[in-house]
A and B are shown apart, each in its own frame.
Chain A
Amino acid sequence: MPQFESHFFSSLIFWEVVSFAILFFVLYKFAFPGILSMLEEREKKIKDSLDQAEHHRSEAERKFKEYEAKLNAAAKEAEGILAAAKERAQRLMEENEQRMTVEAERIKGDATREIDRERRKAIQDIRAQTTDLALLVAEKVVQRSLNEADNRKFADDALEALSKSYQQ
């Protein structure tokens, strides 16, 4: 193999070292810093825009959460209002019902009392009229004029007996 001809080694190695040294120096001074800083700049730019995007995203998320919370609060409030309204309606209804019941009770009581009074009055009337009627009948039957006091006593006795038998 021609590559193993040691005659050329010294010149190859010498020029290799020299060329490498020159290339190293040139790249070190004029090429790498520019390219590296370029890369870093671009990376920084990308990172910045990524950061910004991330920032926007988190901001949006925060806003969304906020709105959500607001919405939730509103919903809860509405629910509360609805519940309160319902409760009030219920209460009003119950109150109404109670009042109605009381009213009805009262009206019923009044009516009963009225009826009772009317009945008593009617009984009284009937009694009085019956007494008069009885007197008249008795006078006609006995044909004897008794004095007013005796008449009344007999009649009352009779009526007492009558009302007793009536009430039985």
Chain B
Amino acid sequence: MEDNPLHPFELHDWIPIALGGLDISINKAVVFMWIAVSLAAVVMIMAGSSRKLVPGKLQNLAEIMVDFIRTMIMETMGKEGMRFFPFIGTLFVFILFCNLLGMIPGSYTVTSQIAVTAVFAFVVYGISLVVGFMLHGVKFLGVLIPPGTPGWLVPLMIPIEIMSQLARPISLAVRLFANMTAGHVLLGVLFGMAISGGLLIGWLPFVFTVGINVLEVGIAFIQAYIFTMLSCVYLGDAFHLHGHDDHAH
């Protein structure tokens, strides 16, 4: 075990590949991303194909997730938001499985990579912009002027609103990245202490490690939930102009 708690996040090119000028080398994060995606696909397909009215455990879990996502979409976007169900659902499943896979010692938490979370965040935000402009045209720029702003404040409010719009995907990306990183740093430190502490006092951090691991499973779920929830809220804002104060979650 290394002393540096950030060591588990280090990556090394395992198989260097270049596509055109683009470096798409395979590294640990990419491999675990594949594993997470494959697991997600297998679980969801199995759940989807065993059509029992009284579900088994796996089917139940998948159904709870799907129902959960559906409710989330319905609450934030309404019925027309169901068109985004496949996207939001895939997002949730992807993030959740990456988060959960990271719980296993020795694995890699893909969602602790800022690049990964940032891509999701900016894609979601980009989609919400596209939807907003497609539905409302130029009027969508009205989100930059919150309702009830006095006229003299407008020149100040517009930069602030632009900033807060830009902050949305950033906070989305940072939140997931920071939560997954922090949890693993804590876990790694405690685990390292358990190993180096030996039998005498090593059990104490080990107990902590187990406890934190349980907490981390919760965080894995909650962070996947928060990410998709906020994505839904942002998309919902694009649907309903100036309706964003209703979604106080």
Which residues on the B side are within 8 Å of A63 (C-beta)? none
Measured CA separation A163–B225 after assembly (Å) = 138
- Over the window 1-16 of chain A, the binary record of Cβ atoms lying under 8 Å from chain B Cβ atoms (1 yes, 0 no) is 1111101111111111
Is there an interface contact between B29 and A12, defined as CB atoms closer than 8 Å?
Answer: yes
Measured CA separation A15–B177 after assembly (Å) = 18
Is there an interface contact between A31 and B41, defined as CB atoms closer than 8 Å?
Answer: yes
Which of B110-118, B125-133, B215-223, B232-240 contacts the other chain? Answer: B110-118
With A16-B119, A26-B45, A39-B63 as known contacts, state yes or no: A2 contacts B9, CB within 8 Å: yes
Contact-residue bracket for chain A = 35 or more
CB of A85 within 8 A of chain B? no
With A10-B23, A38-B63 as known contacts, state yes or no: A23 contacts B40, CB within 8 Å: yes
Q: Nearest Cβ distance between residue A14 and chain B, in whole angstroms? A: 5
B residues contacting A by CB (< 8 A) are 6, 9-11, 13, 17, 19, 22-27, 29-30, 33-34, 37, 40-41, 44-45, 47-49, 51, 53, 55, 59, 62-63, 66-67, 70, 85-87, 89-91, 93-94, 110, 112-116, 119-120, 177, 181
Consensus secondary structure, chain A interface: helix
Which residues on the B side are within 8 Å of A39 (C-beta)? 63, 66-67, 70
Measured CA separation A129–B23 after assembly (Å) = 172
With A35-B48, A42-B53 as known contacts, state yes or no: A27 contacts B119, CB within 8 Å: no
With A20-B94, A30-B48 as known contacts, state yes or no: A3 contacts B177, CB within 8 Å: yes
CB of A45 within 8 A of chain B? yes
Is there an interface contact between A8 and B116, defined as CB atoms closer than 8 Å?
Answer: no
Question: Sorted from nearest, which 7 A-B pairs have the closest CB atoms?
Answer: A34-B48, A31-B44, A31-B48, A2-B9, A2-B10, A24-B90, A9-B115
Which residues on the A side are within 8 Å of B17 (C-beta)? 11
Measured CA separation A28–B88 after assembly (Å) = 11
Is there an interface contact between B70 and A2, defined as CB atoms closer than 8 Å?
Answer: no
Q: Nearest Cβ distance between residue A15 and chain B, in whole angstroms? A: 5
Q: In the complex, what residue of chain B is closest to A34 when comparing beta carbons?
A: B48
Which residues on the B side are within 8 Å of A3 (C-beta)? 9, 112-115, 177, 181
Q: Nearest Cβ distance between residue A136 and chain B, in whole angstroms? A: 138
Is there an interface contact between B86 and A24, defined as CB atoms closer than 8 Å?
Answer: yes
Is there an interface contact between B48 and A10, defined as CB atoms closer than 8 Å?
Answer: no
Q: In the complex, what residue of chain A is closest to B181 when comparing beta carbons?
A: A3
Q: In the complex, what residue of chain A is closest to B29 when comparing beta carbons?
A: A12
Q: Nearest Cβ distance between residue B110 and chain A, in whole angstroms? A: 8
Is there an interface contact between B41 and A23, defined as CB atoms closer than 8 Å?
Answer: yes
Which residues on the B side are within 8 Å of A4 (C-beta)? 114
Is there an interface contact between B34 and A19, defined as CB atoms closer than 8 Å?
Answer: yes
